[in-house]
Amino acid sequence: MYFRDFLTILFVLEVTKAVLHEEASIKLFDYLIEKNNLVQDFEKSGLQLPDDTDFIKQLIIGYSDSETAYKGRAEKTFLYEIVANKTTGIDVDKWDYFARDCHHLGINSSFDTKRFLTFAWVCEVDNRKQICIRDKEVDDLYEMFHTRYNLHRRAYQHKVVKVIEEMITDALIIANNHMEGYFGKKIAISETVDDMEAFVKVTDYILNYILNSTDENLSPAREILERLQRRQLFPYVGQKRLKHDITDIDEDSICRKIAAKCNGDPRLEDIAVNVITIDYGMKDKDPIDNMRFYKKGSAEATKLSKSKIIQLLPKHFRQRFIYVFIKKRNPESMAAVTKALNELYPEDDPAVLEEN
């Protein structure tokens, strides 16, 4: 999947308030089975339907405490930790994008997946079979989560990435109800999550269609994408780093407060705010707390005491930032938004912000 594909699909999931990326994957899985008449092929391969297809869907979602969890595989609960591990966050989904993105971004990852697999055992934990690891490998696990943190800090949540995401989102919102020529039927981009035949077309080609379209309704969206091609990005105003325990913060309310202080120049719709969170995958918690370790020569897996961990750990496992952009490229608007941001969130306010 290309990076722009990801942003386009992210737009669809955000606008439609889809709870999980995995839910769209399951809908797409059902669509592919039906579209390609795979039921007979599955049965010829010895798969039991619908139990085995339900099992595949549960692997995509990961472990759940609901009554339907582990359907057909209650005796092998560790299988649900392989693709999407909701217990520890250690799964092959991460390993896949680590290998891909570290390679293309030139970011080193010292986490050794082959070594992890060598020391991974299935142990009984709280009456459930769980993937556990040798106690001496704890430092390697922290390296994995630190790699995740670095990828988010230096790539996925970088301010340039966020402003490109903002510009593509603006273009798609404008184009949302004017893409009948692309899909071949009257459907909004944001509605494609419920129509897999249309959803499979939500790729970077949707942006090429907008760029090459002569539809006047798509003209404002086309202008944004052309601006993006020329690298004329929305100007970056600045950022504020929040204390790790600040949670009650909303992007829309920050925009309104900044606009109010600017007295109409720039306007509310010309201000963009991103509140981003960078963590180890478990919000403000240490993900290793949920991992169980075994000692050499023992089949018993237990939680590892912090006193046994020699690695220097971060004081907090989550950082939150406010990124502020402006869609008007002029010094007066930039100065007004900068002043408003600093007045709303002064650097010396110990109750709200840490020093940048």
Residue 10 tokens, joined: 């992210």
- The pLDDT, as a whole number, for residue 64 is 59
Catalytic residue among 21, 103, 244, 316: 21
Q: What are phi and psi of 309, to 5 degrees?
A: -100, 115
Across 285-338, the runs of DSSP E, i.e. the strands, are 293-294, 301-302, 318-326
Amino acid letter for position 299: A
What's the CA angle centered on 225, arms 220 and 230, to 5 degrees?
A: 125
Task: State pLDDT tens for residues 74-123.
Answer: 788 899 899 988 888 899 989 998 999 999 988 888 888 999 999 999 99
Most confident segment among 66-70, 71-75, 158-162:
158-162
Under a CB-based contact definition with an 8 Å cutoff, are residues 332 and 288 in contact?
no
Task: State pLDDT tens for residues 180-231.
Answer: 999 999 999 988 888 999 988 988 899 999 999 999 999 999 999 999 999 9
Neighbours of 38 (CB within 10 A): 15
**Which of 27-36, 202-211, 238-247 is least confident?**
238-247
Rounded-to-integer distance, Cα 220 and Cα 229, Å: 14
Rounded-to-integer distance, Cα 344 and Cα 240, Å: 10
Burial class of residue 46 (count of CB atoms within 10 Å of its CB; 0-12, 13-18, 19+) = exposed
- β-strand 293-294 against 128-134: which pairing, if any? parallel
Rounded-to-integer distance, Cα 276 and Cα 242, Å: 10
Statement: residue 8 has pLDDT above 70: no
Instruction: Place 71 in a pLDDT band, splitting at 50, 70 and 90.
Output: low
- The pLDDT, as a whole number, for residue 206 is 92
Amino acid letter for position 335: A
- The pLDDT, as a whole number, for residue 171 is 94
pTM of the model: 0.83
Amino acid letter for position 334: M
- The pLDDT, as a whole number, for residue 353 is 55
- The pLDDT, as a whole number, for residue 273 is 94
Annotated catalytic, 21? yes
Neighbours of 245 (CB within 10 A): 9
Residue 185 tokens, joined: 């039927």
Under a CB-based contact definition with an 8 Å cutoff, are residues 220 and 167 in contact?
no
Rounded-to-integer distance, Cα 173 and Cα 6, Å: 16
- In this prediction, residues 16-42 reach a mean pLDDT of 79
Task: State pLDDT tens for residues 144-171.
Answer: 998 999 899 999 999 999 999 999 999 9
Instruction: Place 23 in a pLDDT band, splitting at 50, 70 and 90.
Output: confident
Under a CB-based contact definition with an 8 Å cutoff, are residues 11 and 168 in contact?
yes
